[in-house]
A and B are shown apart, each in its own frame.
Chain A
Amino acid sequence: MKLVTAIIKPFKLDDVKDALKEAGVVGMTVQEVQGFGRQGGHTETYRGAEYKVDFVPKVKLEAVVEDGDAERVADVIADSARTDKIGDGKVWITDVLRIVRIRTGEVNEDAI
């Protein structure tokens, strides 16, 4: 079992969600987060004084998938989140040791 985590541009969330549903992913969790990568931050101006804002708003998306699906799901996210402009984000895959579906007690692949 793998956890696919993606940091994406907030306005691409709907596209990514729809693409993942179409690819058979049955659940996901999203958070509004702030961060920066090579894009850096941006500037804001208040009464003529310019400030640099380091952390920019992003969406963090997580989905637990079966081993064989992980790379395909990561590619689906990357393709649907891409704008070809700096700041598109990242996708990574990590191992998951154990999953329990709380309502039924099912574990691992049955709980995805």
Chain B
Amino acid sequence: MDAGSVTWVMVSAALVIFMTPGLALFYGGMVRAKNALNMLLMNFYCLGIVPLVWVVIGYTLATSGTSPVIGNFDFFGLKGIIVGQDGGEQLLFVFFWAAFAAITPALIAGAVADRIKFVAWVIFIPLWSVLVFSPIWYWIYGKNAAGELIGWLGERGSLDFAGGTVIHVNAGIAALAAVLVLGKRRGWPGEAMPPHSLPLVLAGAGILWFGWFGFNAGSAGAANAQAVQAFMNTFLAAAAAMLGWLIVEKIRDNHATTLGAASGIVAGLVAITPAAGYVGGMAGMAIGFIAGVICAFAVSAKFKFGFDDSLDVVGIHFVGGLTGSLLIGLFADPSGFGELGTFDAGLFFGGGWGLLGEQALANLAAMVWSFVLTFAILKVLDAFIGIRVSEDEEKQGLDTTLHIETAYNFGELSSSGRSV
């Protein structure tokens, strides 16, 4: 691996690490002030626990093996990964992907906002990372010792450049399962639960947009042509999706909103994630715009069907990820990538329907595994410890009840001295 590529992937890893704090602000601003710290901590907790679990066991189960469905224990506890032997290449990707592993379950926090016990979240996250995230990662990206794709979906030719299926469809459908186990917030949907700080939401969306350049362009795994294309597409899709969402709002609701802009940016980033290194710039722009429009409508589904996906993880991550992943089946175009263009072409670029079918299969498989396992894990946790806070805690807010903190201490009357 050349020095430029090592450098780029290291920088990308740091960018992706920054996304989880960005997500924390994006979500944290969207909840009511009484639950803001709980939301921030659910996200930051993922950044603490998941990379540790990934390094010890998640990585080896997700990346390397001989079976089509799950990896082996060859790299358990970083065994055999010696920087002096390969220039650090393998350890670099252990860490780069740890950042992906961290943000994936953090996405689910938006669905369970305001009502899940923190201790239940603390136990759920590492279990989910090992039992749901690692297997699905392996199906798409798993390789054998010779470096050939061996996971049953990847081997068939499914494409997922940076995790549209593995991360967004996966976390999005898990979010749906989670809210079905957890139930809706008291008062939802009748009671208004407006975002307490849209400036925080916008700041979070900006950090996500910035970090996503590492997420997508870093996923080329090298400083190469595919990375540059992914870099451009990441920008174009987010910008087009923001405009798409705002146009829907202006026409449907008569007002363009800041929350709509932030939501559109994220929807576009989600949708381009699976496609970033497989499509040209105009296709990247189209994928973003289409996702922005579709997700602007999709977030209303929860009212129709009555599930309290509080911050629209299903409407943005599941729907956006699925949209982008399926659109690869139309827009994938290996012709522009030179020697890197070893993937199948989509329908619009002479590839027929085959790739679209593979994309549909991969997403269906990820949806079934993620939904069933997430539902089961939370049902078991609920039976043993109960996953939902008490009515009083929910009404008073989780910050003062679960974390004995307050997000905003304005004025000087609130503290009456240190208790000894």
A40 CB to closest chain B CB (Å) equals 15
Query: A22 at interface (Cβ–Cβ under 8 A)?
Result: no
A55-78 Cβ-contact flags toward B at 8 Å (1 or 0)? 000000000000000000000000
Docked-complex contact B259 and A49, CB < 8 angstroms? no
Docked-complex contact A46 and B300, CB < 8 angstroms? no
Query: B393 at interface (Cβ–Cβ under 8 A)?
Result: no
Docked-complex contact B299 and A45, CB < 8 angstroms? no
Docked-complex contact B253 and A45, CB < 8 angstroms? yes
Residues of chain A within 8 A of B194, CB atoms compared: 44, 46, 51, 53
For this complex, into which size category does the number of interface residues on chain A fall?
Answer: 10 to 19
Query: A48 at interface (Cβ–Cβ under 8 A)?
Result: yes
Query: Nearest residue in B to A54 (C-beta to C-beta)?
Result: B192
B293-319 Cβ-contact flags toward A at 8 Å (1 or 0)? 000110110010000000010000000
A36 CB to closest chain B CB (Å) equals 15
CA distance A49 to B30 in the complex (A): 14
Query: A47 at interface (Cβ–Cβ under 8 A)?
Result: yes
Docked-complex contact A49 and B257, CB < 8 angstroms? no
CA distance A51 to B312 in the complex (A): 17
Question: Which residues of B239-292 are within 8 A (CB) of A?
Answer: 249, 252-253, 255, 257, 259-260, 263
Docked-complex contact A47 and B192, CB < 8 angstroms? no
Docked-complex contact A46 and B303, CB < 8 angstroms? no
Residues of chain A within 8 A of B252, CB atoms compared: 48
Question: Which residues of B176-213 are within 8 A (CB) of A?
Answer: 189, 192, 194-195
Query: A98 at interface (Cβ–Cβ under 8 A)?
Result: no
Count of A-B contacts with CB under 8 A?
Answer: 33
Docked-complex contact A48 and B300, CB < 8 angstroms? yes
Residues of chain B within 8 A of A52, CB atoms compared: 192
Which of B189, B192, B195, B249 makes the CB contact (< 8 A) with A48? B249
Q: How many residues of B contact A (CB 8 A)?
A: 18
Residues of chain A within 8 A of B263, CB atoms compared: 47
Docked-complex contact B255 and A48, CB < 8 angstroms? no
B247 CB to closest chain A CB (Å) equals 13
Which of B189, B255, B260 makes the CB contact (< 8 A) with A47? B260
Which of A45, A49, A53 makes the CB contact (< 8 A) with B303? A49
Docked-complex contact A53 and B192, CB < 8 angstroms? yes
CA distance A91 to B244 in the complex (A): 47
Query: Nearest residue in B to A50 (C-beta to C-beta)?
Result: B253
CA distance A73 to B101 in the complex (A): 66
CA distance A46 to B188 in the complex (A): 14
CA distance A53 to B297 in the complex (A): 23
Residues of chain A within 8 A of B255, CB atoms compared: 45
A: which residues have CB within 8 A of B?
A: 44-53
Known: A45-B249, A49-B189, A53-B194. 8 other contacts (CB 8 A): A44-B194, A45-B255, A46-B257, A46-B259, A47-B259, A47-B296, A52-B192, A53-B192
What are 7 pairs between A and B in contact, CB < 8 Å?
A: A45-B253, A46-B257, A47-B260, A47-B296, A47-B300, A48-B296, A52-B192
**Closest 8 CB pairs between A and B?**
A51-B192, A47-B299, A45-B253, A48-B300, A46-B259, A46-B194, A47-B259, A48-B253
